[in-house]
Homo-oligomer: A and B are copies of this chain.
Amino acid sequence: MADYPEFSVTTDLVVLTVRGAALQVLLVRRGIEPFRGAWALPGGFVLAGEDLDTAAVRELREETGLTAPGGHLEQLATYGEPGRDPRGRVVTVAYLALLPDLPTPVAGSDAASADWVTLPAGELAFDHARILADGVERARAKLEYTPLATAFCPPEFTISELREVYETVWGATLDPRNFHRKVTSTPGFVEPVGRSVAAERGRPAQLFRRGPTRLLHPPMLRPAS
């Protein structure tokens, strides 16, 4: 063991949400060098005796004040190119988090300042632009064959809200009628709550909550580019 090089290990988070009609990512302004003042993904060093997943959850809570109830957190990929951090040899295990649009704004507790930024998000510190791009691509792909779009929604939601998530993340427009039928006919995707909610205009929409299925059969199909 002593013959081999030592690394620092960090977890960085690609935290995505859908607000209005925009896909947004949680970014922090770096308060220290390197890249002081630049936007970066939230994250930090893994502590001794701490699991990688635990570190990611802790960073998410520290940066956003949330524990992702109803949200989703998964490992994305690991980045370890020798020159990627000027401070030394740092390996970053990136995580992807999908959260509903929470009324609580970001409380930058220990970060200099944190904010939601609409994509595309311009220049980022380190290789975070690439990590962000990988996370967005993963999210787009996973909407097809998993019910993870519900992670962007509150616990109870309408089919239209769910459709807006798909349209925002994919940057496409979907037929409301066929989307409704597809979602409600896919076993275990959503379950009716039994109540309705009045919209600003038009017929009230039924409320649904997420179903038990973790994999969609058949998958939702992204329109041809």
Contact = CB atoms under 8 A, between A and B. Distances in A.
A87 B8 contact: no
Interface string A26-70: 000000000000000000011111111000000000000000000
- Chain A interface SS verdict (over half): loop
B4 A6 contact: no
Nearest to A93: B78
A46 B45 CA distance: 19
Contacts of A6: 6-8
Given A4-B8, A5-B47, A9-B7, A78 B78 contact: yes
B7 A51 contact: no
Interface residues of A, number: 27
A82 B5 CA distance: 18
Most B CB contacts (10 A, CB to CB) among A50, A77, A80, A91 go to A80
A77 B75 contact: yes
Contacts of A89: 48
B87 A1 contact: yes
A93 B75 contact: no
B91 A49 contact: no
A202 interface: no
